[in-house]
Copies of this chain bind each other. A is one copy, B any other.
Amino acid sequence: MKAISPADQLFLWLEKRQQPMHVGGLLLFSFPEEAPDDYVAQLAGQLREERRVSQPFNQRLVTRFGQPYWDEDRHLDLEHHFRFEALPTPGRIRELLAFVSAEHGHLMDRQRPLWEFHLVEGLRDRQFAVYAKVHHSLVDGVSAMKMLQQMVSESPEERQQAPFWALPERRRRSTDQPRSSVVQAMGRLLGESGKQLGTIPTVARELMKTINEARKHPDYDSMFHAPQCLLNQTITGSRRFAAQSFSLTRIQALADTYHATVNDIVTAMSASALRTYLMNQDGLPDQSLIAMIPMSLHNRSGGGDAGNQVGMILASLGTHLADPVQRLGHIRESIQTAKDRYASMSSEEIINYTALTLAPAGFHLLTGMAPKWQTFNVVISNVPGPKQPGYWNGAKLEGMYPVSIAMDRMALNMTLTSYCDQVEFGLIGCRRTLPSLQRMLDHLEDGLAELEQAAGIQ
């Protein structure tokens, strides 16, 4: 039995009926060339036999003396966690996205280990999919995508590859990243790491202290002035998932042309898509939207550790600007300013700063009371992915899309990852608050095309 850390407890507390706190990933595969038509059913049969379930996937939530712990599930029911399912006719990507939308909206059973693995047949053109969901208290989004990647190999010849729940713990842990500073910041918000806080009022009090601290911060003015918009409403329990691949070659060409980074370009695509979507919904604010972007930072000040540091950037998206090139310039400058600010900070300072920035959102989430400040409007997260083609039991991985979390006052989450020559967007949102969210996919393509047109690339 192992006590649950305060940061992980937070994800359990935050969860409610209309706000499930699990992250997911969608992997799209094509059949191996020689595979028979019932290839996926055979694979399902093979997976059903994978009865080794390693940590943490054999751990369930138990409560002792009012405190939550992880404890081994001695009656683990693999049939509950591994599900073989199918798409209806005609088995297009559209049906797959509808499937993920419905599944991602369902709460998991708290009396069992908090993960599910859905193997999905019935896609046309000899393709199939895996949709996995894991509670955020078990792994964060980056680790979840890594976990799925570890299932695949660079060799198309390998067979009998285990699903993630059966991978030996050591193999998984060796590639685990330390928790990002976002998660460290959450821990900070909850007081000293390892301290069990017990109740939501205690946490809310801690958060309020942090918010009052923030008001003294020199950047206070810029930190808490995102406009209110459609994206920042109370959400409902139903989700819409939309996903699409874009060519990294096209994006890289634009980055070269505009002397920008790939991240600047995908942020500009997102900004353009948000602008068009909100205009069509008659709800574009006059002020620019602010995005929260977790980002790898080379910490040059030597504040203890010299490695990569994941920090949180608040970037202005320039959604008030009609011209796509002007908007890109605005975004690039805004991201650069934030990076420069971090460059002069120690790791410790970055964590503190992140904690300050997260506090108002956290306070709202826990108490339901809305502070006047809207720190940011949307999360745009970029999770690194593999550069080489991957195979799982001979089946080629064609694409992988992150499925993240929508929250009250943060009705849309845009997470992207890279795979070979693809940039993979996964959008998850509340389908009632954000009608026809799937149109954002076309708007993302338009956002790419308008920059190409302006640069004279067709």
What residues make up the interface of A, taking CB atoms closer than 8 Å to B? 17-18, 38, 40-41, 44, 75, 77, 79-80, 83-90, 98, 102, 105-107, 109-112, 121-122, 236-238, 431-432, 435
Q: List 7 A-B contacts (CB under 8 A).
A: A18-B109, A40-B89, A80-B431, A86-B87, A86-B122, A112-B236, A122-B122
Whether B88 pairs with A85 at a CB distance below 8 angstroms is: yes
Closest to A236 in B: B111
Closest to A120 in B: B88
Whether A86 pairs with B84 at a CB distance below 8 angstroms is: no
Whether B75 pairs with A17 at a CB distance below 8 angstroms is: no
**In the complex, which of the residues B88, B110, B237 contacts A109, with contact meaning CB atoms closer than 8 Å?**
B237
Complex-state Cα separation, A83 to B110, whole angstroms: 26
Complex-state Cα separation, A38 to B86, whole angstroms: 15
Whether A77 pairs with B41 at a CB distance below 8 angstroms is: no
Whether A432 pairs with B89 at a CB distance below 8 angstroms is: no
Copies of this protein, total: 2
**In the complex, which of the residues B17, B40, B89 contacts A38, with contact meaning CB atoms closer than 8 Å?**
B89
Q: Which residues of B contact A432 (CB under 8 A)?
A: 75, 77, 111-112
Whether A435 pairs with B75 at a CB distance below 8 angstroms is: yes
Complex-state Cα separation, A94 to B77, whole angstroms: 17
Of the listed residues A17, A38, A84, A112, the one surrounded by the most CB atoms of chain B closer than 10 A to its CB is A17
Apart from A44-B89, A111-B237, what are 9 other A-B pairs with CB-CB below 8 Å? Answer: A40-B89, A41-B89, A75-B432, A77-B432, A84-B88, A86-B89, A88-B121, A109-B237, A112-B432
Whether B110 pairs with A77 at a CB distance below 8 angstroms is: no
Whether B238 pairs with A80 at a CB distance below 8 angstroms is: yes
Complex-state Cα separation, A100 to B329, whole angstroms: 53
Q: Which residues of B contact A236 (CB under 8 A)?
A: 109, 111-112
Closest to A38 in B: B89
Q: Which residues of B contact A110 (CB under 8 A)?
A: 17-18, 237
Complex-state Cα separation, A86 to B106, whole angstroms: 18
Q: Which residues of B contact A18 (CB under 8 A)?
A: 109-111
Q: Which residues of B contact A109 (CB under 8 A)?
A: 18, 105, 236-238
Nearest 9 A/B pairs, CB to CB: A41-B89, A111-B236, A86-B86, A109-B237, A86-B88, A84-B88, A106-B106, A109-B238, A86-B122
Complex-state Cα separation, A106 to B75, whole angstroms: 21
Complex-state Cα separation, A444 to B98, whole angstroms: 38
Closest to A106 in B: B106
Complex-state Cα separation, A18 to B108, whole angstroms: 10
Complex-state Cα separation, A17 to B236, whole angstroms: 16
Whether A88 pairs with B44 at a CB distance below 8 angstroms is: yes
Q: Which residues of B contact A41 (CB under 8 A)?
A: 88-90
Q: Which residues of B contact A238 (CB under 8 A)?
A: 77, 80, 109, 111-112
Closest to A87 in B: B86
Q: Which residues of B contact A75 (CB under 8 A)?
A: 432, 435
Q: Which residues of B contact A106 (CB under 8 A)?
A: 106-107
* Shortest Cβ distance from residue A101 to the other chain B in the assembled complex, whole angstroms: 9
* Shortest Cβ distance from residue A294 to the other chain B in the assembled complex, whole angstroms: 29
